[in-house]
């Protein structure tokens, strides 16, 4: 025992215990059902900030709805193999439901700083941009970027068009989920600015978790709004895309039209 104190190993032990205590405290805070959907919004006018806050609340809230979980689990037979990240390429919907539901011992949505991006000038590619991942603070926080064109989509009077913005926001929230006690152990990845396609796919063409999560959230939101029935969710999910975004289809469904594949809508985007 004297050697233990003499070598300074006790200091290492204290540091580990303190780190674990901080990690547990953060997980507990981030799992609080009353926590805000985001940490702060940057780069937005007052009107934009209010609208973006509503969009983020819609997406974050939908991911925590029992209807979302039921709709996701109901797709097990349709999508048996799902790409989650490079070292988890054979996930299933049950695993996704557990992670999205925060059921792992350390699973949490890292509080996100959200930045509205994209200038007013025509041709600014960042207006269409959306991304998310680890933020500042040694894994404590996440970062989400949302392009102004996504927010513009959310202004549409057409619920299906609006739902595409909910899809984007829910997709990005999937990238803010960490499954480790310390640091940012991201649960779901897809592409980056420097790698626009997923490399080393073991099962090309299978759903990508972040896209499937976003699309199930989109279709669940439409269900909650009364735009589609629960029975129409699988066709909606197929229509809106599970392996990449079918953004070009967003404005092709008028009031009352089923959100389902049709020969006159744009073809699906190629799988990532």
pLDDT in tens, 133-189: 888 877 788 999 999 999 999 999 999 999 999 999 999 999 999 998 878 899 999
Helix, strand, coil distribution of the chain in percent, nearest 5: 45, 10, 45
Residues 6+ apart with CB under 8 A from 111: 30, 35, 36, 38, 39, 140, 141, 142
pTM for the full predicted model: 0.90
Helix axes 209-224, 233-240, angle to 10 degrees: 130
- Give bridge partners of residue 109 from the DSSP assignment: 177
Backbone angles phi, psi at 6, to 5 degrees: -70, -35
Q: What is the mean pLDDT of the chain?
A: 89
Task: Dump the DSSP string for 136-150.
Answer: TTTTT-EEEEEEHHH
């Amino acid at each position: 025992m004297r050697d233990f104190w003499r070598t300074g190993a006790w200091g290492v032990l204290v540091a580990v215990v303190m780190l674990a205590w901080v990690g547990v405290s953060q997980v507990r805070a981030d799992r609080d059902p009353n926590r805000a959907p985001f940490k702060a919004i940057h780069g937005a006018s007052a009107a934009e900030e209010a609208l973006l806050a509503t969009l983020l609340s819609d997406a974050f809230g939908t991911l925590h709805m029992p209807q979302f979980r039921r709709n996701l689990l109901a797709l097990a037979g349709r999508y048996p193999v799902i790409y989650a990240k490079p070292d988890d390429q054979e996930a299933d919907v049950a695993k996704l439901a557990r992670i999205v539901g925060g059921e792992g011992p350390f699973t949490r949505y890292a509080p996100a700083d959200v930045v509205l991006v994209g200038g007013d000038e025509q041709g600014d590619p960042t207006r269409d941009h959306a991304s998310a991942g680890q933020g500042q603070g040694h894994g404590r926080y996440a970062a989400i970027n949302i392009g102004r064109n996504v927010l513009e989509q959310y202004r549409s009077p057409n619920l299906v068009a609006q739902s595409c913005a909910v899809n984007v926001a829910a997709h990005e929230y999937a990238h803010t989920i960490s499954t480790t006690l310390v640091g940012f152990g991201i649960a779901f990845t897809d592409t980056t600015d420097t790698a626009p396609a997923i490399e080393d796919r073991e099962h090309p063409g299978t759903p990508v978790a972040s896209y499937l999560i976003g699309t199930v959230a989109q279709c669940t939101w439409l269900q909650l709004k009364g735009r589609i029935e629960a029975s129409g969710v699988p066709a909606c999910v197929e229509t809106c895309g599970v392996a990449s975004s079918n953004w070009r289809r967003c404005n092709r469904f008028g009031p009352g039209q089923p959100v389902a594949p049709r020969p006159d809508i744009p073809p699906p985007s190629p799988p990532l």
